[in-house]
A and B are shown apart, each in its own frame.
Chain A
Amino acid sequence: MPFDEFTIEQLAGDMLPNATMNQRLATGFNRNHRINTEGGAIAEEWRVETVIDRVETTSAVWLGLTMGCGRCHDHKYDPITQKEFYQFCSFFNNVPETGGGQEAPVNHPPIMKAPTVSQQAGIALLDNKQIQLEAQKNALLAADAPSAAQWIASMEGKVHAPAQDGLLARYSLSNAPKLLAGNAAPPRVVGAVGVDRGRINTAAVTDGRAFIDLGDTGRFDTHDSFSYGAWVNPNGGTGVPLSRMDSGAAYRGWDLYINNCKVSVHLISTWPTDALKVTTKAAIQSGQWSHVFVTYDGSAKPEGVHIYINGVYSPAEAEVNTLKGSIRTNVSAKVGTRTGSDGFTGKVEGAELYSRALNNSEVLQLSNGDPARLLLAIPAANRTQDQNAKLAEIWSERNDPEYKKCKGALDGVSKDRSTLDGQVVTAMVMEEMPKPRDCYVLIRGQYDKHGDLVSAGLPAAFPPLPAGTPINRLGLARWIASADNPLTARVAVNRFWEKFFGTGIVATSEDFGTRADFPSHPELLDWLATEFVRLKWDMKAIQKEIVLSATYRQSSKATPELISEDPSNRLLARGPRYRLPAEEIRDQALAVSGLLVEKIGGPSVRPYQPDGIWDETNVYGNLRNYKHDVGESLYRRSIYTIWKRTAAPPTMTLFDVPGRETCRVRRTRTDTPLQALVLLNETTFVEAARVLAQRVLTQGGSTPEARVTYAFRSVLARKPTPAEMRILISGLNRRIAAYRVNPAAAEKLVAIGDFPREPGVSAPDLAAYTMTASVLLNMDETINKE
Chain B
Amino acid sequence: MKSDGVLQLQDAINRRTFLTTACRFGMTAVAGLLTDTGYSAVTNDGALTPLPGRPGMPHFPPKAKNVIYLFQSGAPSQMELFDYKPKLAEVRGQDLPASIRNGQRLTGMTSGQAHFPVAPSIFSFKQYGKGGIWLSELLPHISTIADEMCVIKSMNTEAINHDPAITFFQTGNQISGRPSCGSWVAYGLGTENRDLPAYVVLTSKGTGRPDDQPLYDRLWGAGFLPTQYQGVKFRNQGDPVLFLSNPPGVDRDIRREMLDEVGELNRLERTVAGDPEIDTRISQYELAFRMQASVPDLTDVSKEPSSVLEMYGPDVHRPGTYAANCLLARRLVERGVRFVQLFHMGWDHHGNLPKAIQGQCKDTDQPTTALVNDLKQRGLLDETLVVWGGEFGRTVYSQGGLTAADYGRDHHPRCFSIWMTGAGIKRGMSIGETDDYCYNIVKDPVSVHDLNATILKLLGVDHKRLTYRYQGRDYRLTDVYGDPVSQILA
Which A residues are within 8 Å of any B CB, using their own CB? Answer: 38-42, 66, 69, 76-77, 503, 507-508, 511, 513-518, 522, 556-560, 562-563, 565-568, 570-571, 577, 579, 610-612, 616-621, 646-648, 650, 653-654, 656, 659, 661-662, 668-678, 680-683, 686, 721, 723-724, 727-728, 731, 734-735, 738, 745-752, 767, 771, 774-775, 778-781, 784, 786
Contact = CB atoms under 8 A, between A and B. Distances in A.
B257 A734 contact: yes
A518 B261 contact: no
Nearest to A621: B214
Interface string B201-224: 001010000011111111001000
Contacts of B278: 780
Nearest to B164: A38
B186 to A, nearest CB: 12
Contact of A775 (B27, B250, B258): B258
A738 B213 contact: no
Interface string B450-490: 00000000000000000000011100000000000000000
B215 A617 contact: yes
Contact of B288 (A507, A513, A676): A676
B472 A77 contact: yes
A668 B226 contact: yes
B249 A681 contact: no
B310 interface: no
A293 B218 CA distance: 64
Contacts of A728: 261, 265
Interface in B349-398: none
Nearest to B10: A518
Contact of B247 (A612, A650, A724, A749): A749
Interface residues of B, number: 87
A668 B273 CA distance: 22
B31 interface: yes
Contacts of B292: 677
Nearest to A783: B281
B37 interface: yes
Contacts of B275: 556, 558, 577, 784, 786
27 contacts: A40-B107, A41-B161, A511-B471, A514-B472, A517-B30, A557-B272, A567-B19, A570-B18, A617-B215, A647-B217, A659-B176, A670-B226, A670-B228, A673-B39, A674-B232, A674-B242, A686-B247, A727-B264, A727-B268, A735-B254, A738-B254, A748-B247, A749-B249, A752-B247, A774-B258, A775-B261, A778-B285
A547 B213 CA distance: 50
A133 B220 CA distance: 63
B109 A39 contact: yes
Interface of B: 9-10, 13, 15, 18-19, 26-28, 30-31, 33-35, 37-39, 107-109, 161, 163, 176-177, 203, 205, 211-218, 221, 226-228, 232-233, 235-239, 241-251, 254-255, 257-258, 261-262, 264-266, 268-269, 272-278, 280-282, 284-285, 287-288, 291-292, 320, 471-473
Given A558-B274, A747-B249, A568 B34 contact: yes
Nearest to B285: A676
Given A518-B9, A557-B273, A577-B275, A749 B242 contact: no
B250 A749 contact: yes
A24 B244 CA distance: 46
B203 A670 contact: no
B284 to A, nearest CB: 5
A563 B265 CA distance: 21
Given A612-B238, A619-B211, 8 more contacts: A41-B161, A557-B274, A559-B274, A618-B214, A659-B218, A677-B288, A678-B243, A680-B255
B274 A681 contact: no
B284 A672 contact: yes
B472 A677 contact: no
Contacts of B320: 616
Contacts of B108: 39-42
B254 A646 contact: no
Given A619-B213, A749-B247, A724 B265 contact: yes
Contacts of B38: 670, 672
Contact of A511 (B239, B249, B472): B472
B269 A677 contact: no
A723 B241 CA distance: 35
A774 B258 CA distance: 9
Contacts of A674: 232, 241-243, 288
A69 B285 contact: no
A749 B177 CA distance: 41
Contacts of A721: 268
Given A676-B284, A745-B249, A611 B238 contact: yes
Nearest to A690: B247
